[in-house]
């Protein structure tokens, strides 16, 4: 469960008694306010997880070979491993004040580190042919960077400014770690036994009526680490709305499929119809029909579709088409955050990222932070995705976190819930 309490969900409409919006998570469990000691433990944990995922891909022959498909949302895992360490080296050890190529105060531990791993200067299409060091050499580089980061962190002051680069490096590795797990799913790699993922629970669905009111959208200053696209808190009026208490389930989405949802163009936006014609799909990603039943592939293994579980791996266009078929709509970003902060006991967060109907745009007064390419290049072309997935570390979860994705992307662990007026 992402936010909220553990009470059972009633399959009826609930309501919020007042317009007050209260935080739902404790700040002491977040990387955003982690102390130096907490960061040291978290950085070690993140690195062990990164290496476990990398080793799974390498064991399948998918580290840095032509077996890795050149998809726009995949990197060669060996490049990914080096880039993660390089990013920490750049902002922590080399004390770069921004991601500008000339911003580092020191040289890399690798002679060609910047030529290999700077994502701003190494085009995606070229990452398969860089002549990277061996796996062993890059693991040594990763270990050396982490050791030096930990040593420097042990001597760092405990204020937010001093800890900012360490929190940034941790956030980057956690984000990349979730991407690596998605790569295992995309490339049909079996999870190693030591990686235990929490299952996604099933709950009965109801509707919740929210009275609306003025909410503070975005993050307030002075509360630790904040991503630049969350700056800064500003008032936003949210009209009355009704929201599903849980995400749309596999059973509900199956009804849409069986009713010809993928064949009826009236349910699809113009962009959605263009995507559908290019994909020629008739079900969510990784669904396979076997006779009269649907099964799904999860990390190279096939399972029966759990009807009550939230549907996952659907793109924005599929979510929009379902909503049109059901006479519903996706929530706005403001509605999602208002609901997430409400504390309503019937709300269930199904451990998947959630599409909203809001294009990814800057908040008023936006200014790029040190990681300059994190948000700004994605404005206008991407869509806001909120929440977290089962693959998101607990320390990363926040109702303020603004994730984003291209509308056609479905490889991430994403689902959706619906709203109405």
pLDDT tens by residue, 101-119: 999 999 999 999 999 999 9
What own/partner pairs with CB < 8 Å and gap ≥ 24 does 142-148 have?
142/47, 142/51, 142/81, 142/82, 142/84, 142/85, 144/109, 145/85, 145/86, 145/88, 145/89, 145/93, 145/109, 146/43, 146/44, 146/47, 146/85, 146/88, 148/89, 148/93
> Do the domain assignments include residue 8?
no
Number of domains in the chain: 2
Q: Are residues 355 and 262 in the same domain?
A: yes
| Band of residue 237 on the pLDDT scale cut at 50, 70, 90 | very high
Q: Are 46 and 238 in contact (CB under 8 A)?
A: no
Q: What is the pLDDT of residues 239-254, one digit of tens each?
A: 999 999 999 999 999 9
For the cut 70, the answer to whether the pLDDT of residue 24 exceeds it is: no
| The predicted structure's pLDDT at residue 192 | 80
229 lies in a domain?
A: yes
Please check whether residues 374 and 266 belong to one and the same domain.
Answer: yes
Preceding amide of 121 cis, omega within 30? no
Give residue 7's pLDDT band: very low, low, confident or very high (50, 70, 90): very low
Report d(CA 82, CA 110) in Å as an integer.
10
- Give yes or no: residues 19 and 71 share one domain: no
Q: What pLDDT does 403 receive?
A: 98
Choose the weakest-confidence range: 165-169, 189-193, 226-230: 189-193
Q: Are residues 253 and 400 in the same domain?
A: yes
Apex CA 78: angle with CA 76 and CA 375, to 5°? 65
Domain membership flag for residue 172 = no
Give the mean pLDDT of 373-396: 96
Final residue in a domain of this structure, among 91, 126, 157: 157
Q: Are residue 373 and residue 273 in the same domain, yes or no? A: yes
pLDDT in tens, 400-416: 999 999 999 999 999 99
Q: Are residues 257 and 397 in the same domain?
A: yes
Q: Is residue 335 part of a domain?
A: yes
Looking at 133, 157, 181, which one is the last position of a domain? Answer: 157
Domain end call among 125, 157, 189: 157
**pLDDT class of 204 with cuts at 50, 70, 90:** confident
Same domain, 371 and 225: yes
Look at residue 182 and tell me whether its pLDDT is greater than 80: yes
CATH code of the domain containing 237: 3.90.1580.10
Evaluate whether residue 166 is within a structural domain.
no
Q: Which residue has the higher pLDDT, 139 or 9?
A: 139
Residue 246 phi/psi, 5-degree rounding, is: -135, 175
* Whole-prediction pTM: 0.92
Scan for tokens 């649907």, then name that residue.
Answer: 294
When pLDDT is cut at 50, 70 and 90, the band that residue 22 belongs to is: very low
271 plus 367 within the same structural domain:
yes
Q: Is the pLDDT of residue 27 over 70?
A: no
Residue 203 has pLDDT above 90, yes or no: no
| pLDDT number for residue 205 | 85
In a domain, 370, yes or no: yes
250 and 228 in a single domain? The answer is: yes
Percent with pLDDT over 70 in the chain:
93
284-338, pLDDT tens digit by residue? 999 999 998 999 999 999 999 999 999 999 999 999 999 999 999 999 999 999 9
Residue 322, pLDDT score: 98
The pLDDT value recorded for residue 194 is 74
Q: Are residues 69 and 21 in the same domain?
A: no
pLDDT-derived band at 18, boundaries 50, 70, 90: very low
Domain boundaries, position 341: 14-27+199-420
**Could you give the percent of the chain with pLDDT greater than 90?**
87
pLDDT score of 3 more than 60 = no
Residue 9 pLDDT:
24
In the sheet with 241-244, reading across from the earlier edge strand, the strands are 14-15, 207-210, 241-244, 419-420
- The answer to whether residues 231 and 212 belong to one domain is yes
Confidence (pLDDT) at 196: 72
- The region of weakest confidence among 22-26, 200-204, 264-268, 285-289 is 22-26
Residue 9 lies in a domain: no
Bridge-based pairing of strands 207-210 and 213-217 is unpaired
Statement to judge: residues 136 and 212 lie in one domain:
no
The confidence score (pLDDT) of residue 104 equals 96
Q: 228 to each of 112, 127, 234, how far by Cα in Å?
A: 30, 27, 14
């Amino acid at each position: 469960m992402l936010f909220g309490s553990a009470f059972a969900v009633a399959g009826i409409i609930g309501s919020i008694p007042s317009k007050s919006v209260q935080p739902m998570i404790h700040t002491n469990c977040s990387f955003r306010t982690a102390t130096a000691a907490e960061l040291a433990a978290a950085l070690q944990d993140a690195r062990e997880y990164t290496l476990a995922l990398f080793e799974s891909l390498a064991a399948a022959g998918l580290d840095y070979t032509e077996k890795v498909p050149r998809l726009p949302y995949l990197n060669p895992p060996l490049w990914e491993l080096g880039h993660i360490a390089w990013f920490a080296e750049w902002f922590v050890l080399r004390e770069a004040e921004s991601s500008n190529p000339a911003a580092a105060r020191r040289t890399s531990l690798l002679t060609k580190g910047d030529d290999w791993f700077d994502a701003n200067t190494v085009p995606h299409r070229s990452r398969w042919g860089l002549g990277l060091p061996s796996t062993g050499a890059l693991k040594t580089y990763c270990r050396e960077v982490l050791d030096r980061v930990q040593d420097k962190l042990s001597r760092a002051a405990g204020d937010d400014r001093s800890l900012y680069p360490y929190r940034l490096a941790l956030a980057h590795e956690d984000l990349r770690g979730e991407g690596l797990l998605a790569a295992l799913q995309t490339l049909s790699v079996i999870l190693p036994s030591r990686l235990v993922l929490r299952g996604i629970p099933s709950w009965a669905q109801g509707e919740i009526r929210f009275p609306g009111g003025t909410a503070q959208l975005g993050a307030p200053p002075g509360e630790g680490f904040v991503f630049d696209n969350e700056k800064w808190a500003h008032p936003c009026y949210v009209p009355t709305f009704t929201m599903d208490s849980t995400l749309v389930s596999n059973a509900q989405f199956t009804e849409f499929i069986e009713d010809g949802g993928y064949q009826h163009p009236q349910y699809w936006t113009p962009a959605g119809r263009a995507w559908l014609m290019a994909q020629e799909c008739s079900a969510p990603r990784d669904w396979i029909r076997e006779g009269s039943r649907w099964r799904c592939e999860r990390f190279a293994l096939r399972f029966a579709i759990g009807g009550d579980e939230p549907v996952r791996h659907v793109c924005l266009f599929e979510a929009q088409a379902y909503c049109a078929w059901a006479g519903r709509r996706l929530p706005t970003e403001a509605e999602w955050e208002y609901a997430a902060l409400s504390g309503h006991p019937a709300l269930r967060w199904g451990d998947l990222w959630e599409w909203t109907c809001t294009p990814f745009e800057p908040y008023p007064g936006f200014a790029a932070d040190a990681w300059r390419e994190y948000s700004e290049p994605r404005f206008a072309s991407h869509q806001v995705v909120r929440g977290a997935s089962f693959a998101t570390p607990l320390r990363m979860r926040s109702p303020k976190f603004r994730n984003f994705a291209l509308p056609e992307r479905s490889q991430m662990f994403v689902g959706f819930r619906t709203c109405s007026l």
